[in-house]
Amino acid sequence: MSPDPRPETTIGPGVKIGPGAKVSATRNIGPGSKVGLVGLGLMGRPMGLNLLKAGFSLTVWNRTASRASSLVAVGAKLARSPQEVAASSDVFITIVSDPPALEGVLWGDFEDGQNAGALGALRPSSIYIDSSTVSPVLARKIAAACEGRNVAFLDAPVTGGTWGAEKGELVFMVGGDAQVIKDVEPVLSVLGKRWFHLGSNGAGQTIKLAMNLILALQVDALAEALALVTAAGLEGEKLVEVLQSSMARAGVLDVKAPLLLKGEYPPSFPLRLMHKDMGLALDLAKQLGVTLPAGAAAYSTYSAVKAAAKEDLDYAAVMKFWQR
């Protein structure tokens, strides 16, 4: 059952739900179904473990094969290529770092020449879910390619961090067919606590970029405010204590404020990925003719910190801009 509190909707032939939504044939997905997962980073590995615990048959692939070892040890099959994963999957999931990585998985432009591309191997009537964060334009390009193969596609980026992935409490922002979302709920319910149908393909990516832009701005603003307070000789903890009891309180403070106060930035959401997402948001704004002055200024700050970083840090490391 969907965790969405709205009343259940009976979906029948010809019914449209959401902007541009289409209705597809019902698919029977559940424990025992074959799920393929490409991308075994901070998010992908715990997602894979949860799928295995729930009884799904899991086939995985990652460019660095050693990252699959913990999954293989508990029952996952390690494929030799993304297309091998796609060919064996009822539900195919990708969660990779950026648009070039996703294009490489789907269209096969790896330098070693061993990947012919997963798109051509997807089974007709299968479901493909991309949970990477990429551009809405790329999401719609993938949707068009899938439609030509009778494959259902959902762009479904996630939020919730590594802790959400580990607990199966991610939140999915989904663009695509309403019936397909319903069909794949047994998979989504293992990985997440909520999912939102936001419109046609590309809508999920648009909302994700907008949301991450807000998160980046919130942490940047907190870092600026802490710099101001500490320069005045006050403890940063005092600012955070007041914020938590005011209208300025934000959920991100619970997670990121301790990192900024300690000056420790283990990568739960790496700076390199937030920087990439901010760039995608600014590119989208340019395409739409929207000016984002605060976003552009924050992007410049994050860019400076990223350029100076010598290790993989969380995006809370934007605080280093004022600690230099």
pLDDT digits (tens, 9 = 90+) for 169-225: 999 999 999 999 999 999 999 999 999 999 999 999 999 999 999 999 999 999 999
Instruction: Provide the whole-model pTM.
Output: 0.89
User: What is the DSSP track for 237-266?
Assistant: HHHHHHHTTSTT--HHHHHHHHHHHHT---
What pLDDT score was predicted for residue 26? 58
Catalytic residue among 208, 256, 276, 320: 208
Token code pair at residue 78? 């390690």
Report the alpha-carbon distance of residue 259 to residue 247 in Å, rounded: 21
**217-234 tens-digit pLDDT:** 999 999 999 999 999 999
**Cα separations in angstroms, 211 against 35, 184, 222, 256, 303:** 28, 24, 17, 16, 19
Quick one: angle between helices 203-231 and 251-262, nearest 10? 50
Mean pLDDT score across all residues of the chain: 91
CB 305 within 8 A of CB 298: no
Q: Residue 256 catalytic?
A: no
Report the alpha-carbon distance of residue 168 to residue 162 in Å, rounded: 10
CA angle (122 as vertex; 121, 127 as ends), nearest 5: 170
